[in-house]
Chains A and B, each alone.
Chain A
Amino acid sequence: MSAIDARGLSCPQPLSMVMSALKKEKGPITVLINSESAFESISRTLKSQKRTVAISRNGDEITLEIGPLS
């Protein structure tokens, strides 16, 4: 289980952090972001991964719950 807080970070740091976590972490990953462009680039990456993703929004903040490696 790991958590990433990428709120307010410039491109491509949110994506870069998620990518390195996906390599290292087999368990679930929680990602917190507040940028639509980061959300889009991370979503595109996750499409090619064999992991489940649950997305929830709270105002400007977006939480991605990435499931464990199956």
Chain B
Amino acid sequence: MSNGFFSSTKGVVVAGLFIGLGAAVLQKLGNPGNMGLCVACFGRDVSGAVGLHRAEVVQYLRPEIMGLVLGAFAAAILSGEFKPRMGSSPLIRFFLGAFVGIGALIFLGCPWRALLRLAGGDWNAIFGIIGLAVGVLIGAYFISRNFSLGASQKSTLLFGLAFVLLMIGLLYLRVAYPPIEGQAKNDLLFYSVGGPGSQRAPLWASLIFAIVIGYFGQRSRFCSIGAIQNAVLFKQFHLLLGVMGFVAAAFVANLAFGQFHPGFEKQPIAHQLQFWNFFGLVIVGFGAALAGGCPGRQLFLAGEGDADAGVFVLGLLLGLAMAHNFSAASSGAGLGPHGAGIGVISLVMIFLIAITGLAKKA
């Protein structure tokens, strides 16, 4: 049951290259600027589509979210790695997911989108990426001092499948209740008529790319948080090379598609408040490091039967929705009215979790 190719460094680089290329293609096919693929933004659109928030410009049941999980699920089944498990501080993971969601919307993107913004020439992302690294390093400090959310336990097949079934259900809703031209709502779902939520790659493209990316992601363990952590803590550059492949492929494809626009100003779905770009991703890096992976990696883990990762994702969806409901989310115009306050509270809460989770020396 050797993982062969994908456990090699060449394997994770190929996975990174494909994910970067896929993101640039999805943007070309209709997804928003420097947002071919973004777990936070698309999670926010999903929570809007089902009415958890009412920000009209960011509501769409993005098939990419479901596809990433289903692709990882397929990979796990085919490789014999589908292992139902749960019970590692689920409520705390839910909160970490929510705080990560808030941080991501202060910056405007998950770690993947931070890298995609860089690959599209949005230099504001540099401050975010520095923040991400700082956040991951704070998390790494606690992990090196034996921070733990505890061990998960083996679970039953159906419990391990629960999150995958939820994704299949959402995909069914997207297919059975498609957007109606010019209408903000059909029988069930909210659909943006304008704004980023209305910029969509075709359903088939979103789904196929996301499933293949999910497959590669599960096999290669691609993770932006792990990339920084392993490089700094253990001098292991395996995952980091995968992430560099991701940026390189997106950059080259952006050049080819005319999607590379270098500069600080007039960047799509971005603001120039550099401290808050930095601060938003400190929250994301710190929170995701404690939870054991970036938002994209959590989707892959949920697909392989890790119910705790599924709980993190549900927390993420709620945090993203609340960031809009409480006006903490940023926009092109800058910070939300409550962005600073809720951002600071989120970071303090993650520190509390980190300190509380330090193992007692026996």
Chain B residues 73-94 with CB under 8 Å of chain A are 81, 83, 85, 88
A8 touches B149 (CB 8 A): no
On chain A, the residues within 8 Å of B88 by CB distance are 8-10
Knowing A8-B88, A11-B226, A12-B230, say if A44 contacts B238 (CB, 8 Å): yes
* Residues A9 and B151 in contact, CB atoms below 8 Å apart: yes
Q: Is the CB of B151 within 8 A of A45?
A: no
Say yes or no: is A66 at the interface (Cβ < 8 Å to chain B).
no
* B327 interfacial by beta-carbon distance below 8 Å: no
A8 to B153, CA, bound (A): 6
Residue in B closest to A60 when the chains form the complex, CB atoms: B83
Chain B's interface size range is 20 to 34
Q: How far is the CA of A34 from the CA of B151 in the complex (A)?
A: 11
Contacts of B144 in A (CB 8 A): 16, 20
Cβ-based interface call for A37 (8 A):
yes
CB neighbors of A among B169-189 (8 A)? none
Given contacts A16-B144, A40-B7, A60-B83, contact A10 B234 (CB under 8 A): no
Q: Once the chains are docked, how many angstroms separate the CA of A34 from the CA of B153?
A: 10
Asked whether A13 is an interface residue with its Cβ less than 8 Å from the other chain, the reply is yes
- Known pairs A44-B238, A60-B83; A37 contacts B143 (CB<8 A): no
* Most chain A CB neighbours (cut-off 10 Å) among B148, B149, B234, B238: B234
CA distance A11 to B292 in the complex (A): 5
Chain B contacts for A12, CB-based, 8 A: 143, 226, 229-230, 233-234, 292
Question: Which of B3, B143, B150, B153 meets A16, CB within 8 Å?
Answer: B143
Seen from chain A, the residues whose Cβ lies within 8 Å of a Cβ on chain B are 7-13, 15-16, 19-20, 34-37, 40-41, 44-45, 60
